[in-house]
């Protein structure tokens, strides 16, 4: 087949819609286009000049530019899967394009994704994506590892592909941030992804299943140049910014200590001036040398994956942490002049009524500046998904975004959702906002206000789901009753009906 025009699409959590609320709440639809998909777009652009990426997190998909593409790649995470399938179905019906799906959800659940596409690219596509395009272009069999497709009605999976060793490469941000193509929103942070993989094995973590447990790092020089380019791009004038910072999006940036310290020292030596934030495990809080370097390099915040506030929960899900150690680590990080943002999970089997207040007390007592709270996350292919299959309320993937989607053991789904709302309201109260405005520096004032707006917005979604959860909670009880009602009706039918894609002149 002839391949001249290629388009990459990152679906939103739902069809794009502009409202006053969208403008007011900075992260209403997760305005952070995928760095991974942007990198794949850049790789393909080197061989096929007419290549662009569209992300519904920042813009509509311009229909006129997509409909005549020869190959269309759609990358999905679990909460985007419904919208991704909606787009794929429409594009297969109305274009001549070969539709390829990839991303974490499609890779881990290719048996589902292949129903909506011609091919599914499995795992990391840095190397396999050009092989697939070459095979299509030359009408050769797709017989190399890392692809799933259907042949004569039967599912073919060509085998697992080894993760790429060389992961250097700087995404061309102009391929997704196209000012002429009606980009309505700028991402809150420029993003740089510097390493892949994590040596730990938490049951609920999908990323270790996707990237593996062996940590692979980009070269220090490549990372530093990526950071420099990201800062320059977003200070170019097209995208005015309130927060001039950079988000290092690695899930475990400090897993390779020597490499992490080299990156930090490089930022210092090259006088790269920015405010940085990065995710981390709590153990970095005991590394004074690392914390000193972080402060010198301009890191104002660490986002700690704390997840739970009970040691029994850590043990159940095979996360090597202890609450007392986490608290000591938080205090030491703060002593170095770096704030802590906490990432928390509700819905563990040990949770009971009152967990929302307990979480809020923990955050306030330990002076944690900001939080992300989600109910237990279930991604196909993870151990926790397998363990809870008979206790899931539904499989409407659009609801797998931090809402309650399962039957906990010691609290009903309805009560758990209320606990989430309670924790959010207490942590982001107007009294705490006033305190932030008086005592915090300008960066944390702005962040707290923005996160308060975001949490209020999220609570609206949580409250909207309460009537459904209340009804389903009537079935909550023994293990047998939970299993009996697994995935029947409910949100899967009420909110998960297949809908056609809106046909607009300017967008899909």
Residue 496 has pLDDT above 50, yes or no: no
CB atoms within 10 A of CB 13: 20
3-state SS class at 68: coil
149 phi and psi, to 5 degrees? -160, 175
Average pLDDT of the residues of the chain: 88
8 Å CB contact between 323 and 309: yes
Q: Which of 144, 137, 221, 233 is nearest to 183 (CA)?
A: 233
- If pLDDT is split at 50, 70 and 90, which confidence band does 494 have? very low
For the ranges 205-219, 245-259, 466-480, the lowest mean pLDDT is seen at 466-480
Give the tens place of pLDDT for each residue, 429-447.
999 999 999 999 988 998 8
Residue ranges of domains in the chain: 5-157, 186-342, 347-496
Cα 106 to Cα 76, 86, 109, 332, 339: the distances in Å are 6, 14, 5, 40, 36
8 Å CB contact between 8 and 75: yes
Q: Give residue 251's pLDDT.
A: 87
CA–CA dist 33, 234 (Å, integer): 14
User: Topology of 5-157 in CATH?
Assistant: Rossmann fold (3.40.50)
Give the tens place of pLDDT for each residue, 305-362.
999 999 999 999 989 899 999 999 999 999 999 999 999 999 999 999 999 999 999 9
Cα end-to-end span (Å), the chain: 25
327 phi and psi, to 5 degrees? -65, -40
Residue 490 has pLDDT above 70, yes or no: no
CB atoms within 10 A of CB 488: 11
Residue 87 has pLDDT above 80, yes or no: yes
User: Does residue 30 or residue 124 have the better pLDDT?
Assistant: 124
Mean pLDDT score, 248-267: 95
For the ranges 125-134, 171-180, 185-194, 452-461, the lowest mean pLDDT is seen at 185-194
CA–CA dist 91, 89 (Å, integer): 6
Determine if the pTM surpasses 0.95. no
Mean pLDDT score, 291-296: 97
3-state SS class at 314: helix
Residues 367, 188, 246, CA angle at the centre, nearest 5°? 75
Q: What is the percentage of the chain residues whose pLDDT exceeds 90? A: 74
- If pLDDT is split at 50, 70 and 90, which confidence band does 57 have? confident
CA–CA dist 419, 411 (Å, integer): 10
CA–CA dist 395, 150 (Å, integer): 24
- If pLDDT is split at 50, 70 and 90, which confidence band does 238 have? low
CA–CA dist 342, 266 (Å, integer): 27
User: Does residue 144 or residue 244 have the better pLDDT?
Assistant: 144
8 Å CB contact between 350 and 313: yes
Considering 169-183, 190-204, 485-499, the range whose residues carry the highest mean pLDDT is 190-204
Cα 162 to Cα 25, 76, 131: the distances in Å are 41, 21, 14
Q: Give residue 487's pLDDT.
A: 43
8 Å CB contact between 147 and 158: yes
For the ranges 3-17, 25-39, 249-263, 436-450, the lowest mean pLDDT is seen at 25-39
Q: What is the CATH number of domain 186-342?
A: 3.20.20.70
Which run of H or E residues covers position 55? strand 50-55
Q: Give residue 410's pLDDT.
A: 94
Q: Give residue 47's pLDDT.
A: 97
Which residue is it, tokens 């707006």? 453
407 contacts: CB under 8 Å, gap ≥ 6? 391, 392, 393, 413, 476, 482
Reading the block at residue 209, the tokens are 């299943």
């Amino acid at each position: 087949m002839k391949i001249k025009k290629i388009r990459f699409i990152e679906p939103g959590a739902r069809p794009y819609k502009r409202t006053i609320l969208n403008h007011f709440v900075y992260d209403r639809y997760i305005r952070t286009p995928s760095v991974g998909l942007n990198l794949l777009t850049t790789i393909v652009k080197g061989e096929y000049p007419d290549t662009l990426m569209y992300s519904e997190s920042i813009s509509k998909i311009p229909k006129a530019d997509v409909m005549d593409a020869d190959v269309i790649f759609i990358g999905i995470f679990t909460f985007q899967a419904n919208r991704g399938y909606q787009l794929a179905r429409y594009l297969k019906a109305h274009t001549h394009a070969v539709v390829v799906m990839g991303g974490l959800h499609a890779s881990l659940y290719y048996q589902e994704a292949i129903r909506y596409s011609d091919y599914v690219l499995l795992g990391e596509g840095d190397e396999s994506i050009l092989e697939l395009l070459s095979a299509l272009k030359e009408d050769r069999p797709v017989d190399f590892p890392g692809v799933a497709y259907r042949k004569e009605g039967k599912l073919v999976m060509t085998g697992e592909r080894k993760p790429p060793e060389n992961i250097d490469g700087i995404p061309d941000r102009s391929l997704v941030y196209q000012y002429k193509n009606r980009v309505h929103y700028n991402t809150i942070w420029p993003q740089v992804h510097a390493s892949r993989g994590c040596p730990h094995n938490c049951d609920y973590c999908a990323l270790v299943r996707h990237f593996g447990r062996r940590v692979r790092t980009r070269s220090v020089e490549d990372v530093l140049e990526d950071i420099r380019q990201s800062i320059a791009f977003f200070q170019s004038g097209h995208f005015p910014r309130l927060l001039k910072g950079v988000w290092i999006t690695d899930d475990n940036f400090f897993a390779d200590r020597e490499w992490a310290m080299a990156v930090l020292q490089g930022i210092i030596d090259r006088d790269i001036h920015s405010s940085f934030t990065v995710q981390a495990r709590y153990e970095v809080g005991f590394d004074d040398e690392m914390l000193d370097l972080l402060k010198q390099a301009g890191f104002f915040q660490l986002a700690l994956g704390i997840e739970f506030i009970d040691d029994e929960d850590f043990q159940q899900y095979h996360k090597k942490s202890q609450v007392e150690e986490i608290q000591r680590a938080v205090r030491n990080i703060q002593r170095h002049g770096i704030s802590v943002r906490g990432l928390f999970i509700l819905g563990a089997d040990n949770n009971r009524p009152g967990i929302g207040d307990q979480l809020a007390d923990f955050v306030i007592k330990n002076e944690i500046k900001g939080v992300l709270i989600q109910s237990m996350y279930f991604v196909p292919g993870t151990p926790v998904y397998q363990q809870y299959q008979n206790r899931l309320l539904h499989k409407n993937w659009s609801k797998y975004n931090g809402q309650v989607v399962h039957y906990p053991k010691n609290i009903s789904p309805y009560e758990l959702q209320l606990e989430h709302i309670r924790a959010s309201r207490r942590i982001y109260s107007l009294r705490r906002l006033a305190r932030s405005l008086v005592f915090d520096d300008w960066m944390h004032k702005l962040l707290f206000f923005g996160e308060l707006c975001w949490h209020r917005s999220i609570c609206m979604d949580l409250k909207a789901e309460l009537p459904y959860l209340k009804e389903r909670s009537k079935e909550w009880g023994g293990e047998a009753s939970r299993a009996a009602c697994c995935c029947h009706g409910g949100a899967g039918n009420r909110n998960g009906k297949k809908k056609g894609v809106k046909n607009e002149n300017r967008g899909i």
